[in-house]
A and B are shown apart, each in its own frame.
Chain A
Amino acid sequence: MSSSLLLSKKNSDVTENGTYKHTTSPIVTGTSVLALKYKDGVMMASDCLASYGSLARFRNVRRLQPIGTHTILGASGEISDFQFIQNQFEGLMLKEHVEDGQKLETSSIYRYLSNVMYGRRSKVDPLWNKYIVAGVEPSKNNNIFLGFVDLYGTTYQSSVMATGFGAHIALPIMRKYAEPRADSLTEEEASKILDDCMRVLYYRDARSFNKIQKAKVTAQGVEISEPYSLSTNWDFAESIIGYGS
């Protein structure tokens, strides 16, 4: 097909040489999501910022989404793509509700999301996100599930997990304090590790924010906190020339 014919369709996706160009970079983005397994379930944290480039554009965005009764989805990357996925899940859950009330458990939700992500990447039109799916599966003896999927459709499961800058900064901390004790970690300990990691990220990641949310899933279901502010201490800045003074 000649390129002029394609162009005559006035499809803005089509370049001059007749090829398609899809998303090559995200626009409005969320930064790290952190998650870890603990004694009673799984816990997740993210901040409430959606950046437009380096501009802190939207400061009250929720990036932790409950899916059904025992699963949470944490999103980093392109916010509009995340909103698309939220719509997909809303439809899926409605279908479950109206058809037979069959409840999809975390590993099914994870598989579904992984298929969507890999399907889009195979069309070379990826959804620009990294997702963490966490939950507890009542029908599988309250199995604790924690899985990752990214814009390429790459998947892995682990007992500690982080996306974005958190994968560099927070993951080593979680590996040290959470991973070896995943079976015995209490809720309070898990909560403190995540708060500490989020605080370190706020100091180090210029796209992060100190207003955060935490969520947990236990056999009892999902609980997501309201956004709250992390305490920070900037005294050290005093001693840095050109920073605080």
Chain B
Amino acid sequence: MFRNQYDNDASTWSPQGRIFQIEYAIEAVKQGSAVVGLKSNTHAVLVARSPNELASYQKKIVKIDKHMGVAIAGLTSDARVLGNYLRSEAMRFRMVYDLQIPVGRAMEALGSKAQTNTQVYGGRPYGVGLLVIGKDSKGPHLFEFSPSGMTSEYFAFSIGSRSQTARTYLERNYAQFENMDLKTLIKEGLTALKDTLPQDKQLDAENTSIAFVGVDQDLTIVDGPEVAAYLETIDSTEMELE
């Protein structure tokens, strides 16, 4: 029934020093549609496309606090649990210190919560990956959260299905992001996201979400018709190329 003896639960090491249940949980992230995050010196941006073709689209980007938002790839219900946790941590921080929670702090708390799920029998690791953007006294940030409990900070990153193509694009171009204005940064994000789409799929105003936060700008989530204006920026670049 199992692929090997060591993959039943997260509390067993394999002889190679791996934990298969964590690796499988990371597979669940790859099942989710891709999300892309990137940052400049002044802004951090998330872009995502919802794959759901039915009545309404599943939300891919959610707000945590005035200064923080996350994009999700993987099990949406797990994402909701983690999102609620982040919200309560952010609110607790506001309550206790009269301060927006520093993004790194929020990630540490989240990572430590997820780590417990990987060391104790009877539970399972979270089956969702997150890209988190936010700002604090040290400027804008982009973090990735993985089911292992690992949290890393990036200049630009992508997770989810076919995200490798987006990462390749980002690796080639991230050095220029530093000094970009917000609009160009979003354009770069959408371009990377476009690379992850299945053959017959497009980005459109119904299925695309954008979120951004800046040193002097609260988190803004753009959904629906307003997205069209941003999508035009990548369409026009393509026309130029043609």
Contact = CB atoms under 8 A, between A and B. Distances in A.
B95 A100 contact: no
A100 B97 contact: no
Contacts of B97: 104, 108, 111-112
Interface range, B side: 10 to 19
B193 to A, nearest CB: 31
Nearest to B95: A115
10 contacts: A99-B105, A100-B102, A100-B104, A100-B105, A102-B105, A104-B97, A107-B98, A111-B99, A112-B97, A115-B96
Interface in B71-109: 95-99, 102, 104-105, 108
Contacts of B104: 100
Interface in B103-160: 104-105, 108, 137
Nearest to A109: B97
B191 to A, nearest CB: 33
A110 B96 CA distance: 10
A24 interface: no
Interface of B: 95-99, 102, 104-105, 108, 137
Contacts of B137: 102, 139
B96 A111 contact: yes
A99 B96 CA distance: 17
Interface of A: 99-100, 102, 104, 107-108, 110-112, 115, 139
A102 B98 contact: no
A108 B99 contact: yes
Contacts of A139: 137
Contact of A99 (B95, B99, B108): B108
A104 B102 CA distance: 11
Contacts of A108: 97-99
Nearest to B99: A108
B18 to A, nearest CB: 29
A111 B99 CA distance: 9
Contacts of B95: 115
Nearest to B93: A108
A100 B97 CA distance: 16
B37 to A, nearest CB: 21
B101 to A, nearest CB: 10
A244 to B, nearest CB: 52
B197 to A, nearest CB: 38
Contacts of B105: 99-100, 102
Nearest to B104: A100
A43 B193 CA distance: 56
Contacts of B96: 111-112, 115
B56 to A, nearest CB: 40
A111 B100 CA distance: 13
Nearest to B108: A99
B146 to A, nearest CB: 20
Given A100-B105, A112-B97, 16 more contacts: A99-B105, A99-B108, A100-B102, A100-B104, A102-B105, A102-B137, A104-B97, A108-B98, A108-B99, A110-B98, A111-B96, A111-B97, A111-B98, A112-B96, A115-B96, A139-B137
A133 to B, nearest CB: 12
Nearest to B137: A139
Contact of B102 (A102, A107, A110, A111): A102
Contacts of B108: 99
